């Protein structure tokens, strides 16, 4: 990686100094032409040395004096300044990461940087797989850039960014963005650039998945939310009593809708951001547009003695403390209630289990399920060759 970065740094500096080097060449060419005309009996080697001011011409004049003054100055400022000053200067890591990505071949490209994309990239790094990443939020991938990994910062639908990612020679692509429009546009543009590489697209809607599967695109759509919903269905099968769902995003709404509609149970959705859901609302679904950090936030709306299941679906790291707190209080005061907590990092599973809670929607679980649908030559195919 250090050798490649050094080569990239030299490439950047040469590109940065191209105007200066062009000026230096034009001044030398002017001098060489002048001396060739005024020193007709000199051979090419002698003319070359004279144009470098290594030798003195036989015929003097004002131009010779001027050239002898200006040439050494330009040579010192441009050449010496380039090698001694610029090559020792720290290169721009963002630009370097982009160039590194451009020179990748037979590589895995990861678009987006959500919890699943992060797991895919970590797997590639740990197993020394050839990859590059594309993300429009520089802060999210700052560590990757600073560690010298190939990253393109910018809109993944932009033609220049797609060209720099070298999709023509990509082995596979993982699209992990929340915007369905971006997912579709990226898939279409990438498929035009590469007819054969597998394109794995994280998307929930069935009609979008069917569109991405058509022959012209031939992508592999998948949904981490549906994988999570499979667990939810199993956990709710045969259950009775009221349910509480706490959270804000689409997965939270799907869980609330699923329990109220498919299992015909009174379900209380606590969402302080939205006052509705994007699904057909059952009369069994009660939406409370308030925050639910404490039991005192819940009690005015539902009798907790009648509740049998609580799903805590926050996914922000800053709210994990609140999730743990309310899980601990429910377990202490209402031990009959089954608690389910949505987490991203497996490292905190033991903390959740301390309160007899089950976890779901973890990034590691999503990666393992994704490994079951990739081709054997994929960068994330299980190292032992055995799918889970």
- The residues with which 340 forms a beta bridge, in sequence order, are 311, 358
Query: Can you give the pLDDT at residue 387?
Result: 53
Q: What are the per-10-residue average pLDDT scores of the chain (388 residues)?
A: 56 68 85 85 84 78 81 76 56 80 93 93 94 94 91 94 94 94 96 96 92 95 90 94 94 94 95 86 93 95 97 85 93 96 80 89 85 94 67
Neighbours of 112 (CB within 10 A): 25
Strands (E), 65-177: 108-111, 131-135, 151-153, 172-175
Rounded distance between C-alpha atoms, residue 188 and residue 25, angstroms:
45
DSSP secondary structure letter of residue 83: I
List Cβ<8 Å contacts ≥24 apart for 350-358. Answer: 351/324, 352/324, 352/327, 354/328, 355/324, 355/327, 355/328, 355/330, 355/331, 356/331, 357/327, 357/331, 358/235
Query: Can you give the pLDDT at residue 9?
Result: 57
What residues contact 174, with CB distance under 8 A and at least 6 apart? 108, 109, 110, 111, 117, 120, 200, 202
Three-state SS at 59: coil
Query: Can you give the pLDDT at residue 383?
Result: 76
Query: Can you give the pLDDT at residue 388?
Result: 47
Start-end of H helices in 237-356: 250-262, 295-298, 320-333, 349-353
Query: Can you give the pLDDT at residue 43?
Result: 84
| List of domains in the chain | 2-86 (no CATH), 93-222 (3.40.50.720), 226-362 (3.40.50.720)
Three-state SS at 243: strand
What number of helices (H) and strands (E) belong to the chain? 16, 12
């Amino acid at each position: 990686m250090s050798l490649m970065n050094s080569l990239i740094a030299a490439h950047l500096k040469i590109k940065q100094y191209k105007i200066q080097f062009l000026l230096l060449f034009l001044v030398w060419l002017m001098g060489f032409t002048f001396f060739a005309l005024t020193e007709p009996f000199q051979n090419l080697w002698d003319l070359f040395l004279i144009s470098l001011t290594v030798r003195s011409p036989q015929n003097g004049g004002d131009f010779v004096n001027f050239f002898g003054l200006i040439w050494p100055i330009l040579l010192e400022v441009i050449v010496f300044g380039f090698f001694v000053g610029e090559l020792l200067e720290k290169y721009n890591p963002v630009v370097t990461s982009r160039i590194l990505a451009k020179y990748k071949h037979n590589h895995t490209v990861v678009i987006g940087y959500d919890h699943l994309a992060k797991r895919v990239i970590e797997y590639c790094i740990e197993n020394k797989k050839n990859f590059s990443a594309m993300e429009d939020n520089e802060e999210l991938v700052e560590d990757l850039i600073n560690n010298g990994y190939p990253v393109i910062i910018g809109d993944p639908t932009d033609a220049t960014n797609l060209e720099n990612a070298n999709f023509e020679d990509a082995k596979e692509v993982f699209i992990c963005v929340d915007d369905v429009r971006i997912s579709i546009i990226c898939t279409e543009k990438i498929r035009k650039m590469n007819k054969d590489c597998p394109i794995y697209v994280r998307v929930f809607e069935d009609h979008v998945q069917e569109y991405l599967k058509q022959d012209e695109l031939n992508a592999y759509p998948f949904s981490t939310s549906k994988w999570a919903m499979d667990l939810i269905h199993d956990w709710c099968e045969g259950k009775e009593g009221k349910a509480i769902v706490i959270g804000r995003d689409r997965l939270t709404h799907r869980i609330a809708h699923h329990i109220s509609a498919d299992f015909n149970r009174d379900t209380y959705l606590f969402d302080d951001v939205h006052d509705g859901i994007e699904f057909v609302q059952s009369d069994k679904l009660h939406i409370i547009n308030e925050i639910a950090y404490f039991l005192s936030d819940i009690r005015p709306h539902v009798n907790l003695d009648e509740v049998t299941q609580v799903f805590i679906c926050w996914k922000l790291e800053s709210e994990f403390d609140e999730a743990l707190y309310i899980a601990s209080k429910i377990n202490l005061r209402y031990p009959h209630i089954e608690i389910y907590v949505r987490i991203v990092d497996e490292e905190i599973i033991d903390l959740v289990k301390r309160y007899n809670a089950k976890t779901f929607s973890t990034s590691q679980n999503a990666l393992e399920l994704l490994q079951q649908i990739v081709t054997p030559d994929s960068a994330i195919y299980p190292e032992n060759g055995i799918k889970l």
